[in-house]
């Protein structure tokens, strides 16, 4: 019987090619837009979930309270990690991360190739127990020894080619010799933690000068490090908050004890629930997820309303067919299945069309969002389940009402060539049309407003001529925030570099700056005359 329904539905769809193509195109494009938005949402909601201990991993935030407001920082002072490990027995592992860009080169290979690397992090060895890394060479104990480094497979190929990188040496910042103890796969794109190099944490004290190293090791106010905690299974973060708040009072000076405290934030919240946290790797917000989900539903609603209205209008041309079927003994249930089958069949065809549209649409989505999603994002298990649910809901929503509408025609009226409804159903159809145009108008207005805002951001005069300007970072994007000072020889080399650039006729002007204006700020420790060090 199902086969008979499908054959009949197929013949009817072919018989009304024009209406079928219009419904197919409208529903297919609507479903494709909805699918692309869903792919984006699934990706956003999957961040950091690849970690085995996803539910038990927390980031330690450094909070400042006072003056009627609270500032939350995603980074903490260096001593926080050891203090938690010593005082919080519920913590199974604690790890610190400190990002410090620098010059890297393969040592002892006879090639003078140096690269300014941004993805250089100093890390405690316990990080390898907290986060789920895939080892290509080596294992979890790779960062146990000082001056050891774990690199990604991309960096292994970059510096050592096809040969094994484990056991090889890298020279960091022209002075610190590092031994490669493990090679790991690059973390998934859906990870807020990204790195190219992980250097054993104690090494940072030998990279910095002694004064800076001693300061960073003991100071409870300077906070350049991220700290992650893996709790014992079954432990609740809320129960640890009182003990955490006591750490700044126990170890910090008077200023820290008075105004600062520590808190735990779940790894599950870092990507979409921590945009207001200073230094958070993600500025995305769950609010945008709700907005995009609403837009997807509205687009799908428009497509379905269009489908329903066209199906209802088309049904009026099939009065004789419905009458003959009823005379032949077809009941309401058979007719309902017949026309619902047509709706599902057309919905399935639109679903296949939508899948084809999403392939080129994915590159457009990547350009808009800055992501690197590929076809695997379309056809993995999660998205296929979501797409299947989308198809079933769309088919039922788009086909059920027309089927009910058609099967309610009275036999006596059908035999006279009439539907039997002079005004019946008209309010519903009018409501659908009004809703369709209202939603479409709202989306169009929203799109125009957002586009004008983006154009304003792109074209607003910045107060200086930005064209024909070239910025060369001499010290990378994230060197030591404390800085080691510019000594005489380094200053001389910088001046020589500046003078050499001026010799080029096509170079109009050259200048040096501590930071690129607008990108950061200069940090410095200032103690006014007459003040004590603790008053700075």
> What's phi and psi for 232, nearest 5 deg?
-60, 145
- What pLDDT does residue 102 have? 87
Q: At what angle do helices 286-315 and 332-369 cross, to 10 degrees?
A: 140
Q: In the predicted model, is pLDDT for residue 328 greater than 70? A: no
Contacts of residue 235, Cβ cutoff 8 Å, sequence gap at least 6:
56, 90
pLDDT tens profile 261-310: 999 999 999 999 999 999 999 999 999 999 999 999 899 888 888 887 77
Is pLDDT above 80 for 450? yes
User: Global pTM?
Assistant: 0.82
Beta partners for 151? 183, 197
Which tokens belong to 288? 């945008």
Is the pLDDT score of 143 beyond 70? yes
Residue 417 has pLDDT above 60, yes or no: no
> What is the predicted pLDDT for the residue at 175?
87
Are the C-beta atoms of 306 and 436 separated by less than 8 Å?
yes
- pLDDT at residue 208, rounded to an integer: 85
Cβ atoms 63, 260 nearer than 8 A: yes
Which pLDDT score is estimated for 262?
96
Report the C-alpha gap between 74 and 226 in whole angstroms: 7
DSSP SS3 for 184: strand
Angle between helices 286-315 and 17-45 (to 10 degrees): 170
Beta strands in 153-217 (DSSP E): 169-172, 176-184, 197-200
Query: Which runs of consecutive H residues, i.e. helices, occur in 420-473?
Result: 426-459
Q: What is the 3-state secondary structure of 87-111?
A: HCCCEEEEEEEEECCEEEEECCCCC
Segment 143-147 shows an average pLDDT of 94
Mean pLDDT, the chain, rounded, equals 84
pLDDT, mean of residues 78-94? 96
| C-beta of residue 62 within 8 angstroms of C-beta of residue 77 | yes
Q: Is 231 helix (H, G, I), strand (E, B) or coil?
A: strand
| pLDDT greater than 80 at residue 533 | no
The per-residue pLDDT for range 485-525, each reduced to its tens digit, is 667 887 888 899 999 999 999 999 999 887 777 766 666 66
CA 211, 217, 221, 227 torsion: positive or negative? positive
pLDDT bin (cut points 50, 70, 90) of residue 424 is very low
Token digits for 215? Answer: 């300061």
Q: Which of 67, 85, 88, 64 is nearest to 76 (CA)?
A: 64
Residue tagged 């195109």 (tokens): 25
Average pLDDT estimate for 17-39: 85
Most confident range, picked from 120-124, 319-323, 466-470: 120-124
CA 443 to chain centre: 24
pLDDT class of 530 with cuts at 50, 70, 90: confident
What's the CA gap between 512 and 427, in Å, rounded?
72
Kind of pairing, strands 197-200 and 135-137? unpaired
> Which residues, in sequence order, are CB contacts of 429 under 8 Å at separation 6+?
309, 312
- Average pLDDT in the 10-20 region? 68
Pairing state of beta strands 102-106 and 226-231?
unpaired
Whether the Cβ atoms of residue 362 and residue 378 lie closer than 8 Å to each other: yes
The pLDDT of residue 430 is: 79
Coil/strand/helix, residue 70: strand
What tens digit of pLDDT does each residue of 175-222 get? 899 999 999 999 999 999 999 999 999 999 988 888 888 999 999 999
């Amino acid at each position: 019987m199902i086969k008979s329904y499908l054959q009949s539905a197929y013949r009817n769809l072919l018989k009304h090619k024009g209406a079928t193509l219009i419904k197919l195109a409208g529903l297919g494009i609507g479903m494709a837009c909805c699918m692309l938005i869903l792919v984006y949402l699934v990706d956003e909601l999957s961040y950091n979930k690849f970690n085995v201990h996803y539910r038990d991993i927390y980031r330690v935030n450094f909070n400042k309270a006072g003056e009627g407001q609270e500032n939350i920082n995603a980074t903490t002072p260096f001593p926080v990690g050891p203090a938690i490990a010593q005082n919080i027995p519920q913590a199974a592992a604690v790890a610190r991360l400190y990002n410090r860009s620098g010059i890297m080169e393969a040592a002892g290979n006879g090639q003078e190739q140096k690269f300014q690397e941004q993805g250089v992090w100093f890390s405690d060895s316990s990080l390898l127990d907290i986060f789920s890394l895939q080892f290509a060479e080596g294992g979890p104990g790779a960062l146990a020894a000082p001056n050891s480094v774990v690199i990604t497979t991309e960096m292994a190929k970059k510096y050592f080619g096809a040969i094994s990188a484990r056991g090889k040496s890298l020279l960091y910042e022209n002075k610190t010799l590092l031994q490669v103890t493990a090679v790991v796969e690059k973390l998934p794109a859906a990870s807020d933690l990204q790195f190219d190099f992980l250097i054993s944490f104690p090494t940072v004290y030998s990279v910095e000068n002694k004064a800076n190293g001693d300061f960073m090791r003991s100071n409870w106010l300077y906070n350049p490090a991220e700290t992650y905690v893996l709790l014992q299974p079954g432990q609740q973060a809320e129960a640890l908050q009182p003990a955490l708040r006591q750490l700044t009072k126990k170890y910090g000076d008077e200023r820290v004890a008075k105004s600062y405290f520590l808190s735990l934030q779940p790894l599950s919240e870092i990507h979409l629930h921590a945009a207001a946290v200073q230094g958070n790797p993600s500025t995305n917000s769950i609010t945008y997820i709700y907005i995009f989900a609403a837009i997807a539903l509205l687009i799908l609603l428009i497509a379905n309303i269009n489908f329903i209205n066209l199906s209802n209008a088309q049904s009026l041309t099939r009065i004789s067919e419905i009458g003959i079927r009823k005379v032949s003994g077809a009941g309401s249930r058979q007719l309902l299945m017949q026309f619902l089958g047509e709706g599902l069949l057309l919905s399935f065809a639109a679903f296949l069309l939508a899948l084809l549209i999403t392939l080129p649409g994915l590159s457009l989505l990547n350009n808009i969002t800055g992501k690197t999603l590929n076809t695997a994002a379309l056809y993995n298990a999660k998205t296929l389940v979501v797409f299947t649910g989308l198809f079933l809901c769309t088919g039922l929503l788009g086909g059920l009402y027309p089927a009910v509408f058609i099967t309610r025609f009275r036999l006596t009226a059908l035999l006279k060539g009439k539907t039997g409804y002079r005004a019946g159903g008209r309010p519903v159809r009018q409501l659908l049309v009004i809703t369709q145009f209202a939603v479409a108008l709202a989306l169009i207005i929203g799109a125009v407003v957002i586009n004008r805002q983006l154009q304003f951001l792109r074209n607003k005069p910045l107060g200086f001529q930005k064209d024909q300007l070239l910025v060369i970072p001499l010290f990378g994007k994230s060197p030591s925030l404390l800085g080691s000072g510019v000594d005489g020889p380094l200053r001389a080399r910088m001046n020589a570099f500046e003078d050499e650039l001026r010799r080029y006729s096509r170079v109009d002007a050259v200048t040096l700056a501590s930071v690129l204006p607008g990108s950061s700020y200069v940090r410095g420790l200032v103690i006014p005359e007459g003040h004590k060090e603790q008053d700075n």
